[in-house]
Amino acid sequence: MVPNIVEPIIVHYDNKGVIAKPEESRSHHKAKHILRRYYLIREMVRRSDVRMDRIASAENMTCPWSKPISQIGHTQHLEKMGLKYMGDWLKGQVGDFYCMPQESQ
């Protein structure tokens, strides 16, 4: 067990092959280029230090950084991250600042 971890680290993937790799115990000839030290994740999953959860591509928060996304998808993605559109708020703040009456000299 990793010291100081109360709950397992959750890793989200939308690729079935990535999830299957740490869970399968045998090596495959197509994966022979992967060094043995990178199989540490398999041991961490077995010890319950890491939990791998499959999620849909649409729910994957990293997908917008690597794939095209629609305007609706972009808006939903921002909401999931907790980001809010501040354009109107900034216009009010900046507008009020710049629209203050000038003192006559």
The tens digit of pLDDT for each residue in 48-61 reads 888 888 887 767 66
Structure tokens at 50: 């890491």
Q: 82: alpha, beta or left, given left = phi > 0 and alpha = psi -120 to 50?
A: left
Looking at the fold, whether 46 and 76 belong to one and the same domain comes out as: no
Q: What phi and psi values does residue 52 have, to the nearest 5 degrees?
A: -105, 120
Number of compact structural domains in the chain: 2
Q: What is the mean pLDDT of residues 94-103?
A: 48
% of the chain at pLDDT higher than 90: 0
Looking at the fold, whether 92 and 73 belong to one and the same domain comes out as: yes
Q: Is residue 26 part of a domain?
A: yes
> Could you tell me which residue, 102 or 59, shows the higher pLDDT?
59
What is the structure's pLDDT at 96?
A: 47
Q: Report pTM.
A: 0.45
What is the structure's pLDDT at 97?
A: 46
Domain that holds residue 83: 58-100
- What mean pLDDT value characterizes the chain? 69
Q: Is the pLDDT of residue 99 over 80?
A: no
Q: How confident is the model at residue 20 (pLDDT cuts 50, 70, 90)?
A: low
Q: Is residue 105 part of a domain?
A: no
Looking at the fold, whether 66 and 35 belong to one and the same domain comes out as: no
